[in-house]
């Protein structure tokens, strides 16, 4: 009997620097993607509610396309299609290059969900608010900027938080784009030490450490900033 497969956490001690580095990579990836997808998502939602039909159509097309394509496909495409076939490369250094290619694909995907969360937030604003804004003569941009969006952003915090947490978990798929982050490191350790329970639990706990505080912070914020009606 070799109970190590159930209780031996020593691989983490041996590879602690590599594991920490992998999780640091996950954090960097998630943070960069978070910022980029928030910018792109806001732009998309502005297009989706705009008075111009063409812009609305473009926004809808984008969201439908990226929301319904598997992330795995997008990321494999980014690494093989963009870099190998089309020769679009950002940097000569492999790790930097694969990082940015992954970030672009991942942000393009996440932005569709950010856009939908923001739109859900806009939909929680009562009709009367928009009507009142128009009644006092505010044009579209001002009613959006002064009345609708401030309320919508606050209502969007909870769904945006879900998107953030899902994004952190989804960052594991980036291993198909050849960037070494936590999931790739776990797979490597599965190969080196065998797929033992402690290794799996250790990485699972690592992700919980990342997602739990994010979840708590978001639910705290969404309660504190909720628009009282």
Size of the site for another protein (CB under 8 A): 86
> In the chain, where do the E strands start and end?
none
Q: Is 1 helix (H, G, I), strand (E, B) or coil?
A: coil
Output the smallest distance, CB 39 to another protein, in A: 17
Q: Which stretch, 4-12, 17-25, 36-44, 90-98, contacts another protein (CB under 8 A)?
A: 4-12
What are φ and ψ of residue 70, in 5° steps? -65, 140
Torsion angle, CA of 124/129/130/132, rounded to 10 degrees? 170
Q: Using CB under 8 A, which residues numbered 7 to 46 contact another protein?
A: none
Q: Residue 176 contacts by C-beta under 8 Å, 6 or more apart in sequence? A: 72, 75, 76, 79
- Cβ of residue 141: shortest distance to another protein, in angstroms? 9
Rule CB under 8 A: which of 83-142 touch another protein? 84-88, 113, 116-117, 119-120, 122-123, 125, 127, 130-131, 134, 139-140
Q: Minimum Å distance from CB 122 to another protein?
A: 5
- Residue reference for tokens 């070494």: 180
DSSP label of 110:
H
Q: Pick from 13, 17, 54, 136 the residue near another protein by CB under 8 A.
A: 54
Contact residue for another protein among 23, 105, 172, 177 (CB under 8 A): 172
């Amino acid at each position: 009997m070799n109970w190590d497969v159930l209780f031996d956490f020593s691989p983490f001690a041996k590879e602690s620097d590599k594991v920490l580095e992998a999780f640091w990579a996950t954090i960097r990836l998630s943070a960069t993607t978070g910022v980029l997808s928030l910018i792109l998502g806001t732009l998309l939602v502005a297009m989706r509610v705009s008075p111009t039909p063409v812009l609305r159509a473009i926004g809808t097309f984008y969201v439908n396309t990226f929301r319904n394509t598997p992330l795995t496909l997008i990321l494999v495409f980014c690494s093989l299609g963009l870099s190998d076939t089309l020769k679009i490369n950002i940097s000569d250094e492999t790790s930097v290059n694969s990082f940015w290619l992954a970030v672009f694909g991942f942000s393009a995907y996440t932005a569709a969900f950010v856009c939908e969360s923001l739109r859900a937030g806009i939909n929680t604003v009562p009709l009367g608010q928009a009507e009142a804004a128009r009644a006092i003569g505010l044009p579209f941009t001002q009613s959006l900027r002064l009345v609708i969006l401030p309320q919508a952003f606050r209502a969007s915090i909870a769904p945006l938080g879900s998107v953030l947490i899902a994004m952190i978990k989804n960052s594991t798929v980036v291993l198909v784009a050849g960037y070494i982050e936590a999931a790739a490191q776990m797979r490597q350790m599965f190969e080196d030490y065998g797929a033992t329970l402690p290794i799996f639990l250790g990485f699972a706990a690592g992700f919980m450490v990342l997602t739990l505080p994010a979840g708590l912070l978001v639910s705290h914020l969404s309660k504190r900033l909720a628009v009282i009606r």
